[in-house]
Amino acid sequence: MSLRRWGINTIEFIDQPGSQTADSAFSQKVRELSRSDLDRCYQCLTCSLGCPVAFAMDYRPNQVMRMVQLGQKQKLLESSTIWICAGCETCVTRCPNEVNILGVMDTLREMALREKVEGKEKVIPTFHQTFLYPVEKLGKQYELGMLLLLKLRTKDFFSDLGLGMKMFARRKLKLFPSKIKASKEMKTIFEKTRGV
Amino acid sequence: MKYAYYPGCSLESTAREYDLSAQAVCQSLGIELKEMHDWSCCGASSGHSTNYMLSHALAARNLAIAEKEGLDIAVACPACFLRLKHTRHAMMNSDELKAQMAESIGSRCEATSDISHLLDIVCNKVGIDTVKTKVTKPLSRLKVASYYGCFLVRPPKVVTFDDPENPQSMDILMDSLGADAVDWSGKVDCCGGSLALTRRDIVIKLVGELMNVAKGAGAEAIVTACPLCQANLDSRQGKDTLPVFYFTELMGLAMGLQGPKSWFKKHLVNPSGLLKSHGLL
């Protein structure tokens, strides 16, 4: 397999001194929250070579590991990479040193949201929050409502309209939502985990 | 053989035909699926991508329900399957998390109920030999590419099912139905998942590559166990399409059950031409 296939022409490491102040508290926090010993990463590139979406990332997974070690907080929280990661766990499965790479990505995403960092990728975080809205209110997903809300929030009204109509015609999208009986429990779950 | 059945949200909407075919097949195989009382969404990718504790709490609420019912869990959707598995795995390794979950969901959960995917139950609990005895209409060497996707087999320590790089369960199952499972390299490649709604460009590229590999291996159709994979492959493959089945639909067809025609009507890529050419419809 050639490195070029994944858009990796040169192996570059983002550790030029002086480019950004190292935030060691950030590094430590990511280590703790991701429950991953990411210092075990020795830059073998297995994660990036197997990553199906590396071609669309601004920093590849191996670079993210190095950037966390070097405390490059701002670059990471603004990166498109943390949102492009599809969570497929190929990297986690193949990492020879058992670094929980997806755990690191999830931690960075959660940090970016909590700290309200405006990154390069705006639609994906909006999607995730929109996806969870019906879950909080109803206890279940309500695709049609979620899709309409996503369109309102992203002001993108026309993409996939034809596909949506086809799905609707095949009754793949329910007109009305269903709600679980204990929907109050969902409210509690969301409230209790919001601040943790 | 009785399970607490966790269909997942997709099976009530975009993957209705998966639910109908799964229930029909399980009934015929003597697997009793008792839908879990008042189950709720697992949070899917959006849960773990935005809030670690929330993602576990959403799954733990469902684990607690099955535990009260005293049943192991049968899951249809691999995304739900992996979310429940992850939470059970994490809770079994952390008393602290168990305590946090009790606080979040308002009831104690020991994560005792085991979690299996329907494909695992059919292949390993019921067994291929039993499936073979139920086949009345063999699939006449229909060439299918078994597509497992990500969440059924990865990460292996958490899901503990089949091989993470070259799984075989669905291939063996398809062969036992009289189909011909082609050997191909796309089995566990990602379709892009929920990026379908946000970064269509990525999903169209990934699905295009998968379809090319499948066609190159001689496949006439794709067979999957995942509502998200099915939706992405069915809707984003462009021209020169291949039908994308759920494994339970092909089982129902081979077992001569009532229903396949109505299931197939829900597909975007109409499979009836292919099935008629094989004398299967």
ipTM: 0.96
The per-residue pLDDT for B180 is 98
Residue matched to tokens 């995304």: B79
Chain B residue with minimum CA distance to A169: B266
CB-CB: which of B13, B197, B206 is closest to A52? B206
Distance from B150 to chain A by nearest Cα, in Å?
5
Instruction: Identify all chain A residues contacting B156, using CB atoms and an 8 Å cutoff.
Output: 93
Name which of B261, B174, B158 is nearest B225 in CA terms. Answer: B174
Cβ neighbour number for residue A93 with a 10 Å cutoff:
23
The per-residue pLDDT for A22 is 81
User: In the predicted model, what is the mean pLDDT of residues A128-135?
Assistant: 98
Distance from B179 to chain A by nearest Cα, in Å?
27
Residues of chain B with pLDDT under 70: none
User: In the predicted model, what is the mean pLDDT of residues A19-38?
Assistant: 88
The per-residue pLDDT for A8 is 54
Q: Which helix (H) or strand (E) holds B249?
A: helix B247-254
Residue matched to tokens 């994979």: B229
Strand ordering across the sheet containing B32-35: B32-35, B2-6, B73-75, B115-117
As a whole number of Å, the CA-based R_g of chain A is 19
Instruction: Identify all chain B residues contacting A140, using CB atoms and an 8 Å cutoff.
Output: 9, 12, 40-41
Alpha carbon B124 to its chain's center: 15
The per-residue pLDDT for A6 is 54
For A85, the 3-state DSSP assignment is: coil
pLDDT of A18 strictly over 60: no
Cβ separation of B61 and A189 shorter than 8 Å? yes
The per-residue pLDDT for A195 is 74
pLDDT band at A4 (very low <50, low <70, confident <90, very high): low
> What distance in Å separates the CA atoms of residue A29 and residue B229, rounded to the nearest whole number?
35
The per-residue pLDDT for A1 is 43
pLDDT of A100 strictly over 80: yes
CB-CB: which of B52, B61, B202 is closest to A106? B52
Cβ neighbour number for residue A3 with a 10 Å cutoff:
13
Instruction: Identify all chain B residues contacting A181, using CB atoms and an 8 Å cutoff.
Output: 38
Is residue B145 within 8 Å of B184, Cβ to Cβ? yes
Is residue B249 within 8 Å of B17, Cβ to Cβ? yes
A and B: number of Cβ contacts within 8 A: 162
Is residue A126 within 8 Å of A150, Cβ to Cβ? yes
Instruction: Identify all chain A residues contacting B41, using CB atoms and an 8 Å cutoff.
Output: 135, 139-141
A14-to-A19, A56, A180 alpha-carbon distances in Å: 9, 18, 48
Contacts of B62 (CB under 8 A, 6+ apart): B6, B36, B39, B40, B42, B73, B84
pLDDT of A138 strictly over 80: yes
- Percent share of chain A, pLDDT over 70: 89
> What distance in Å separates the CA atoms of residue B186 and residue B188, rounded to the nearest whole number?
6
